[in-house]
Copies of this chain bind each other. A is one copy, B any other.
Amino acid sequence: MKKLLIATSALVALTGAASAEVALTGDGRMGLVWDGENAQFSSRVRAKFNLSGETDSGLSFGGSFRVDQENYSAAPESRSAAHGTAGSVYVSGTFGKLSMGDVVSAAEAAIGDLTELGYTSGEFASNPEEIDFLTGDGENEEQGPTALYEYTFNGVNLFASMTDGSRRDCSASNVIVGDLECFDFDEDDSTDVAFSLAAGYEFGAYNVALAYSENGDGREIVLGGTAAINEFKIKAFYADYKDRDIAQLGDFEYNFDDDETTFEVDYDRAYGLSVEYAMANGVGIQGLWIRREVEILEGFADLAEDTYDAYGIGASYDLGAGATLAGAIIKNEVFEDNETRADVGIKFQF
Contact = CB atoms under 8 A, between A and B. Distances in A.
Output the residue of A41, A124, A125, A184 with the most chain B CB within 10 A.
A41
A65 B49 contact: no
Given A35-B184, A51-B350, A59 B323 contact: yes
A105 to B, nearest CB: 14
Contacts of A79: 73
Quickly give the copy total for this chain.
3
Main secondary structure of the interface of A (DSSP, over half): mixed
A54 B348 CA distance: 10
Contact of A183 (B35, B78, B346): B35
A126 B45 contact: no
Contact of A24 (B40, B49, B75): B49
Interface stretch (A160-168, A217-225, A290-298): A160-168
Contacts of A53: 321-323, 348, 350
A63 to B, nearest CB: 4
26 contacts: A20-B349, A26-B63, A29-B89, A33-B183, A35-B183, A37-B185, A42-B84, A43-B100, A45-B81, A45-B89, A46-B70, A46-B81, A46-B82, A52-B350, A56-B319, A62-B348, A62-B350, A67-B67, A68-B82, A73-B79, A91-B323, A124-B183, A126-B179, A180-B251, A180-B335, A186-B337
